[in-house]
Amino acid sequence: MRHRPHRSPSRAAVAALVAASLLLAGCSGGDDEPTAEPSSPEPTAAETSEPPEPTYWPLTGLERTTDAPRHPVIVTKVDNTSSSAPQVGLGAADMVVEELVEGGYTRLAAFYYSKVPKAIGPVRSMRASDIGIVPEGATVVTSGAAPITIKRINGAGIPWITEGDAGVYRETSRYAPYNLFAGLADIAKRLKADEEPPPYLPWGTEADLPKGGKATTLTADFGAHSTSWAFQKGGYVNTDSYAAQGDQFPADSVLVLRVKVGDAGYRDPAGYPVPETKFEGKGAAMLFHGGRVIRGTWSKDGLNGAIELSTKDGDLVVPAGHVWVELVPAVNGNVTFAK
């Protein structure tokens, strides 16, 4: 038997076979790999990074948009009698604390951090009360203190600057002891801080406050001296201030804390017993803000503890801004206000 010779398919047949196979592949049910979608471009670092967390000034609670100062908080003791007029530099302070001294008069602890004035004064002496007022890490500018007070201030680890140190000088146009002044701008350049201080008060916003009651004027009475305030144009004006014209402290709030007062253990040169504010424990608080008053309680765990505020409904905050703190004696002191 003769075999037929093998014959290769024609080009036309091959083409038809390929076309048929392609048609069958297109109709198949999904055995093939899916076609990849075009990839999206990777997000840039600028698109993926979150905005930085805001930072705030510790003595005002206001947002800080610059680097922190290299100097520590500087607390300057300022006379607060008629002999101090005109006081200089209060308008640049972040915060002011008014405290009782002998004879029923008061002295100011003016706090500087976000900015420092060229000059501040008249500078007067420290009290043991300052141990509970001055924040940790701060430096005090003072005319000195009684030996017993200096011993306690040093024991508390509070650094201080006084007459004889660079930047502290006598103003020749005034008479002693109300002529000691400090050039804070120059002093600040020579001071270095290890770290930024924590918030001095529990800061918040006006929206966080309870409604409170209406109060457009108030007076804090310390005995021989009283400090009065009036709510005007969104802030509080010290109506009996000794500050120079245009250099008054720009108070957004007035915080009154009723405090216990003890005996510091010595008498001043005039023979008056020197009081000591016990700024620890707890007491009644009154926050004046926006023409209203909110009653609450303050607490402080020891002289170095943080100040906490509360009402019967929970925590109380202080709206960010410049605050004048009145440490009014719970006994022999008084606070009055009116609508």
CA dist list (Å): 55 to 60, 66, 112: 12, 9, 18
Q: What is the pLDDT of residue 256?
A: 98
Q: Whose CA is closest to 92, among 244, 249, 235, 241?
A: 249
Place 29 in a pLDDT band, splitting at 50, 70 and 90: very low
Residue 35: pLDDT over 70: no
Using a pLDDT cut of 70, give the percent of the chain over it: 86
Average pLDDT, the chain: 89
Place 268 in a pLDDT band, splitting at 50, 70 and 90: confident
Q: What is the pLDDT of residue 121?
A: 98
pLDDT in tens, 200-252: 999 999 999 999 999 999 999 999 999 999 999 999 999 999 999 999 999 99
Residue 150: pLDDT over 60: yes
pLDDT in tens, 61-84: 999 999 999 999 999 999 999 999
CA distance 146 to 274: 10
Residue 290: pLDDT over 60: yes
**Domain 56-338 CATH superfamily:** YerB-like (3.50.90.10)
CA dist list (Å): 102 to 145, 234, 242, 268: 13, 34, 19, 7
Place 46 in a pLDDT band, splitting at 50, 70 and 90: low
CA distance 112 to 330: 28
Q: What is the pLDDT of residue 186?
A: 96
Residue 141: pLDDT over 90: yes
In the predicted model, what is the mean pLDDT of residues 250-269? 95
- The residues that bridge with 109 in the sheet, in sequence order, are 77, 97
Beta strand ranges found along 8-62 (DSSP E): 55-56
pLDDT higher at 76 or 33: 76
Q: What is the pLDDT of residue 129?
A: 97
Q: What is the pLDDT of residue 114?
A: 97
In the predicted model, what is the mean pLDDT of residues 89-107? 97
Q: What is the pLDDT of residue 43?
A: 58
Read off the amino acid at residue 5: P
Neighbouring CB atoms inside 10 A of 309's CB total 20
Residue 18: pLDDT over 60: no
CA distance 228 to 216: 11
List, in order, residues 6 or more apart from 26 with CB less than 8 Å away.
Answer: none
Q: What is the pLDDT of residue 75?
A: 98
Residue 287: pLDDT over 90: yes
CA distance 231 to 291: 6
- Whose tokens are 């392609």? That residue is 22
Cα 103-109-110 angle, rounded to 5 deg = 140
Residue 23: pLDDT over 50: no
pLDDT in tens, 298-319: 999 999 999 999 999 999 999 9
